[in-house]
Amino acid sequence: MKKIRSIADISALNGQVEHILILFSGGLDSTYLLELLKDSNVKVTALAVDMGDGIDSKSLSHIADHYGVDLIIEDGRQSFVEHSIVSAIQAQAMYLGDYPVSSSLSRPVIIKHAVEIANKLNCGAIIHTANQSQNSLRRLNEAIV
């Protein structure tokens, strides 16, 4: 699977894949991604994974409807607790010795759900909007297999 590194790479997907899954938070970056894809000939499905911090499904649905894309809201809370949080608590995992580790543990769980759904929907690409200044970029990219 090709890594997307720029808007030009996103444009190049048009004609190369029929269906794209995007990780969708409803924030500026992921909504802008929908704007970039709105005139493409590619089917787009937006995926939001609830990791326990609450999802505004009404707002996400409103944005997805505006762009004419399918929206899937996946409940990732149980798998996050079972596969990440329990082990982190047992290990007393801390970031910089002060902060409980959490978001770095959530990224592989989010990607696990994304890959399963992308395979089920026969998507040719998974796109997220994490950038190089965010720790999430590497965590997301390395978890996509």
CATH of the domain at 73: 3.40.50.620
Q: Which amino acid is at 60?
A: L
Mean pLDDT of the chain: 83
58 is a domain residue: yes
When divided into structural domains, the chain yields a total of 1
For the full predicted model, state whether its pTM sits above 0.85: no
1 is a domain residue: no
What span, in angstroms and rounded, lies between the C-alpha atoms of 14 and 6?
Answer: 14
pLDDT-flagged residues of the chain (< 70): 1-5, 130-145
